[in-house]
Structures are given as C-alpha cells and as structure tokens.
Structure 1
Amino acid sequence: MKLNNEKFIATLDFNKYLESKGWYLKSVLNDIVGIWRSSRYPDSEILQPIDINLMDFSRRAEVLLSVLSETQDKKINEIVDEINEISNDIIRIRVIHNDVDNGTIPFNDGVELFVKAKELLVSAARSVVKVQKGFYGGKSPEIVTNYFDSLKLSQTEIGSYILKVASPIYQQDEDQSDHCDVPFGRIVSSRIIHSVLKLEKAVESFKKTNNHIHFEQVIGDGVGASLCSAIVGLSGQRRNRTVEISIQPSPYASDENLKSRVVTVPANDIPIIEHARDYYLNNYSAMNYELSGKVTKLDRDRDIDPDNGVITITETISGSKSKTRKVEVVLNDKMYDEAIKAHEKSEVMHFIGTLIVSGRKVRLSNIQKVTINSKIL
C-alpha cells in the first residue's frame, strides 16, 4: 500500500508525528537525512529522507514505514492509513434536512451534490489565484489543476448526508522545499471557510439594507457567481436543505489559517444567495430602488411613443466614489419635461422604482416617486 503523499515524510509537520510516537531527532546528515532515536525502541533507528530530490526517496520512505510498523506492532497498511489521514485536511460538506436524515439522498440530488462540491472547490482554488465576479471559465492555472489531481474522495458519512474530501496539505509536485510557506492545499481549505463566511455576512447585511453594495464588497474575498451557484446547488433541487461546510485540519499541520472551521448556510438564506448569484452575473432586479444623478441624455421619439420619453441618469454606485453606470428611466410626458429643465440647470434628480439589470443594460421602471431638489413631481 502506497502513501498518497510521500512528500509529507520530508516535512517538519511529519517530525511532529514522529515526536508524538516517542522519537527524537538526534542529528541531520548533510541536509539529506534526519536520524531519529527513541528510548522506547533503543534497538531501532529511523532515517528520515528530508531531501525530496533524492533518487531513492521512495525506497527510503518504505524503509521508514517498515520501522514504524515493527516498533508499533502494526501492519504497514495501518501505518500508511494513519499517515495518509494526518497529511490531509478533511473537507466535509454536509446537507441537512429531514429527507436525508437516514443517510441517503435522492439520486438526482446526490449527483448534483458531487457536481456542486467540485464547483465550490473550484471557486475557492481559482479565487486564490485571481478573484472573479462571474463564473470561472477556461483552462485552470496549473497549480489549481495539480490541486485537483491530489484530492481524494473519502467514504461518505451518515449525519444527514456528508460528502468528505481529503485534501493533501503538501502536493507531490509542489515546490515546498523550505516547509515554511503555507501549502496551496491549506490555503484553499482556509479560503473555502473564509469566502462562505463573507458571503453569509453579506447576506445578513443585505437583509437589513437591501443594498447590493454588500455583495460588491466581498468579491475580493472570493465571493462571486461560482461560489453562490455552488451553495445554491448544494441546497438541493427544492432549495430546502441547510448547507454546512467544515474543515478538519491535519493535526500535525494546524496553524492560524483555520481559526474558523465550520460555517453553516441556513436554507432560508438560499433565495438571497440565488439573487446574489444573479447580481454577480448582471441579471437581476431590485424593487424600491433609489436612483439619484444628473440627466446626461434625453431621448423622446413621438413617432414611436408620443406619451413617454427616455432619459439617461449617470449614477455613482453606492459605496464607490468613482464607479458609475448609466441607467435608463422611462418617464411620462410631464415628467420628461421636468427632466429637460433639470438637465438644463444641471440639477440632480431622485427616483424610486424597480431597477432591472440585464447584462450591460440597466433600466428603472415602475416609477413610484420623482423629486428634484426635494420637490416632489
């Protein structure tokens, strides 16, 4: 039986494992091999390969496993299983509802669970390299591809329904020779929790203010359409399951990167996360939207629509001092005449209506209130 990640043998984190088993580092030979002794096993010695470029690294690792097997009176495959487990972060994705309480899940939802779990990991991994508001597409960076090649699906667990993924903290082909920088796998594990926590915080703020700026502010934290789509899909076809995501760090490679290890997304937040997904894709509407700005364009074609005209308002997006967008507003004949006057005087107009965003087109409809300099029209 082979180690999933031989490179872990060469890390300082593996040293902690050996120390926990009663071994101590006596000396290091030419930065190539660590020599370990134990008062428990005075007749045995462990030679730990610490240079991953050694031609016979794999053979030396096998000899090390044999010594551990003999001294602990365990089969080699038991030692291998133990090391495989401690060299991984365990990512658990749990869906909670009474329809999965017995540890089974409807087939279609089960398939979607695996698909959306991958989408969640893709979102986290790719956002570490470069954040993106919309869906991630195209070829993944090499480090992300290598990360996915290293992942292992573990046996599912009962507890509502739990999907378990083993994420090696050290990848076989990752340059981690100094064992000091945080491995990419650990960064992704941390990113998952961080991004979903930020999404939940934005959802709570949106509930109170109905302002999309809260979604805009967390894009840099890895929150975007891909993450939202993954969470929505994990909640099931009926969008009725609570989603719980947890990270169990390797006990021999824990650090301050995973202070918060569990995050829960309640089922009643899913509709808002769907809305956030559409916002990130520029395809959403917002009722009772307050629009303010100066008229930058007037357009009235009496041959097409004699009773209405379209004006364009240049709006400064809430929470941003420099980011603007153009919003079309359809006005009746009387309000359009007032808009002409406001344009001539460079006055700011205020509207309340329904904002509809579709791609690059932004329009305010169902106008409920119009004011100029506090004067209601």
Structure 2
Amino acid sequence: MNREIYLTSLGDISPIHLSSYLEQMGWVKDGSIGSKAVVWHRAEKENYAFEVIQPVDIYIRGFTQKIHEAITSISEFEERNPSLVLDDILNFYTDLVKIRVVHNDVEDGSIPLADGVLLIEKSKDLLIASTLSTFKKKKFFSGSRSDDEKNFISKLRLGQTEVGSFIVSLISPITVKSNTEEEIDSTSLTRSVTTNLAKSLSSISSAIEQYSEDQDIFHFEEVVSEGVSANLCDALVGLSGLSKSRSFEVSIKLAGVELDKKNIITHHSFKPSQLPAIESASEYYKGNYVINGYTAFGLVTKMKRIPGDEFGEVTISSKVNDSDKNVTVQLELDDYWDAVHAHESESYVKCSGNLIVTPKTATLAEATRFGVSDNLDLFKPKPNK
C-alpha cells in the first residue's frame, strides 16, 4: 500500500472497526478522554506501557491524524508495517479473496483490456459458484436463484486492483448467520461461503492430480460434495485469460471478527497445464464425457437395421454412473441377430467399448466382446463406476 492510498484509507476506518480490532487482538479499555476518545492498554503487565488512543467520533477535529497515531501505536506493538495494520482493520469485517494472474504480459501491473474484463467477470463467477454450492451441492447450476443466494451475491464488492503481476480483490462483508449445508450455528454466511470456496479449490486440485494419472473421469464425481461444480470449473478456466496461458493464484484472507473454525487452506495455485483437466471436469458435470473400456450390460430394448446394411443398431438398458441409460451400440450382423434373439427371450447381453455420453444420449463406440446369457449371476460383469 503506497503512502497516498494509506492516507486516503485512514478516513475509511470507523471507530467501531478500530475498537473491534483492538478488543480481538487482546487490548483492554483503560479509561477515556472525555467524550472524545477511549484509552486502550495491553492486558499483559510487561506490555502495559503500550497505549492506543482511539477517537470515538468521526467528526472530531483531526480524526484522520488520530487514526494514524492509533495505527502507529498498534504497529509498534505488533512490529508490523502500519499499512498492514490498516489493511487488517479495514477488512476486519470482511473475508477477502484475491486473484493474482501471473504471466510476462502483466508484470508491469497492466493487463490487456479484453483479458481484464474477463478476469473480473470470472472472479465474480468464482464467488457466485461458491455461494451456490454452499446452499446446495450440485454438478451444474442453471436457472433462477433463491432470494438468499441473490441477497448474498448482491453484497459482494470489488476491491481495488493491485500491482503484483495483476491482482483483483473480491470483498465479502460478514453480516448474517448461516443456514446452509456448509455451516450452521454461529458461523456467518460469508464464512460458510469462504470455507466452501477453500474446500472446493483444494478438492479440484486433488482430483486433477488423480485424473492426470489414470484419466478416470469419476475422480471428479467424488468432489461434488466438496462444492466443486461446472460453474466453478468454468470460472477457473476463465481466470487464465482468453488464450488460457496464464497461471493464477487464489488467496483468501479471513475477517478478524470471526475465528477460522475449519483451519482452511488459504492459498491455491493453478497452472495452464491443469486447464484441460478442469475443462474435462466441467464437461463431465454438464453430462458430456467418455468412459474408456466400459461394459454395457442389460436387456436389449430397441433394434434397428436398414435392409442391405452389414450391421445393425441396438439399444441396451444399462447402468452408467448409478443412473439408467439407454446405450446405443452398432453391431456386426451376427452379433446383431444374437441381440434380436436375446430381446425375444429377455436374455441379458453385454458389450464393451468406449462409451460416449451426452445429456441426452449414450453411444458405445468401437464395440467388442458382445455376448448373450440366460444366467444373470454368471454373466454379469463387474459394475462400472
């Protein structure tokens, strides 16, 4: 924080913010100076000599100077730069999320206009995604939002951008109590959203690492309960810029007014090399994905063949990720007629291949090992994920 910003920000400190900070940090009231100020000392005997004079009215003469003197006194005790103390007091009632993009084209503190607009838009989307999954865990959020969700989102604020590659700050005021899936009791809704964001970022990072090892798309299924969604993934991809070439970091600074009950991870980093996996996760949550080496197993429910063709198409009612799907598969004639007979006798069939899934269809490509059996227990393959 440069000197000009520091001096301007002094006037933004309210007496209640300053007194709340002092009380939280272990200072105790020790008298007053008429109706103008409150005197604070340290509770420890060895530190009693440290004193802060806190003005109680923003309209008293020299208010800004008195705030500066109070912050200077605090910084001497804490052995920290006054600007850092000022920043903590300003944000004492807010959780702060900072998004820093890293690339050689932003090192001077500027960013291409189109990317800057996208960065702010996707920063907002990141917090909105975290808000929505705090209220309810889902793979993909669309459509209308509840009044509680809209009310919280409307209170989000954009802070001043900073030099440091390029940094966008998002401010979440702590004002109301939570009644969500994430936290109940005395936790504020803001802290519930912040905690959910931290958990979801940690979870998607772990899922990306697992997915990169075996290309198993179902690693992303396991983290939906941690607040990961297609909306969150799309926001993360957008933070890397239009060319998807920038690394970025998401840092969380918690409001001093509320304790961190979950001991959350407050710093998360992402690289361009991770974006394809995040995009795959987003497509999976939207119902678009491929399962390599899938075995469709079930009853034949539909058959179709054009006379003269050397193949036919059948539909198998099969389980895909614990959901019933009608899997379409193209078979050579011998296998096709076996499938027709299986349909007539209500026998089970199986067939392996690469399953291509969309929200409305499921197609088994490169089909192999087609078979029919009346013995369900012997014939049933191991369940797919």
TM bucket normalised to smaller: 0.7 to 0.9
Q: Secondary structure at the match of 1:98?
A: coil
Which residue number corresponds to residue 245 of structure 2? Answer: 240
Q: 2:40 and 2:160 mapped to 1: Cα distance?
A: 35
Matches of 2:58 and 2:22 in 1, distance apart? 17
User: Which residue in 2 is equivalent to 1:338?
Assistant: 338
* Structure-2 residue corresponding to 1:360: 360
- Relative to structure 1, is the Cα distance of residues 4 and 368 closer, same or farther in structure 2, using a 3 angstrom cutoff? farther
Task: Note the C-alpha offset of 1:111.
Answer: 0.8
Q: 1:300–1:62: structure 2 CA closer, same or farther, 3 Å change rule?
A: same
* Cα gap change, 1:14 to 1:331, in 2 (>3 Å): farther
Alpha-carbon deviation of 1:142?
2.9
Q: CA deviation at 1:348?
A: 4.2
| 1:240, distance to aligned residue in structure 2 (A) | 1.8
Separation in 2, partners of 1:5, 1:122: 28
Match of 2:75 in 1: none
Deviations 1:206-245 (A, max 9, x none): 2233333222222222222111111111111122222321
Check whether the contact 1:310–1:328 (CA below 8 A) recurs between aligned residues.
yes
For residue 154 of structure 1, report the CA deviation from its aligned partner.
1.9
Q: In the alignment, does 2:156 pair up with 1:151?
A: yes
Q: Name stretches of at least 5 consecutive residues in structure 1 with no aligned partner.
A: 27-35, 48-59
Counterpart secondary structure, 1:104: coil
Matched, 1:134 2:140: yes
| Match runs of 1:269-288 below 5 Å | 269-284=274-289, 286=290, 288=292
1:253 to partner: Cα distance: 2.6
5 Å-filtered alignment, 1:2-151, equals: 9=16, 15=20, 17-18=22-23, 20=25, 22-24=27-29, 38=40, 70=66, 73=69, 83-138=89-144, 140-151=145-156
Q: Is the 8 A contact 1:193 1:246 kept in 2?
A: no
- Contact residue 225 and residue 276 of structure 1 kept, 8 A: yes
Quote the offset at 1:182 in angstroms: 0.9
CA offset at residue 74 of structure 1?
5.1
In structure 2, runs of 5+ residues without a counterpart are: 1-8, 32-37, 42-47, 72-82, 179-183, 380-385
Tell me which residue corresponds to 1:299: 303
Number of the residue aligned with 1:203: 208
What does residue 229 of structure 2 align with?
224
RMSD: 4.0
In 1, are the aligned partners of 2:233 and 2:279 still within 8 Å (CA)?
yes
Shift in CA distance, 370/106, structure 1 to aligned 2, threshold 3 Å: farther
- Deviation, 1:313, is 2.0
Give the structure 1 partner of residue 79 of structure 2: none
Are the equivalent residues in 2 in contact too, given 1:65–1:80 (CA < 8 A)?
Answer: no
1:190 deviates by 1.3
> Shift of the alpha carbon at 1:131?
2.4
User: 1:157 is paired with a residue of what secondary structure?
Assistant: coil
State the TM-score, normalized to the length of structure 1: 0.74
Between the aligned partners of 1:67 and 1:241, the Cα distance in structure 2 is 44
The question of whether the paired residues in 1 share the 8 Å contact of 2:10 and 2:68 is answered with no
Normalising by structure 2, we get a TM-score of 0.73
Partner of 2:3: none
* Equivalent residue for 2:270, pick from 252, 265, 270: 265
Structure 2 CA distance for partners of 1:309 and 1:74, relative to 1, 3 Å: same
1:5 and 1:87 in contact (8 A); partners too? no
User: Structure 1 257/116 Cα, relative in aligned 2: closer, same or farther at 3 Å?
Assistant: same
**Alignment partners' CA distance in 2, 1:61 and 1:363:** 71
**Contact 2:21/2:89 (<8 A) preserved:** no
> Percent identity over the alignment?
26
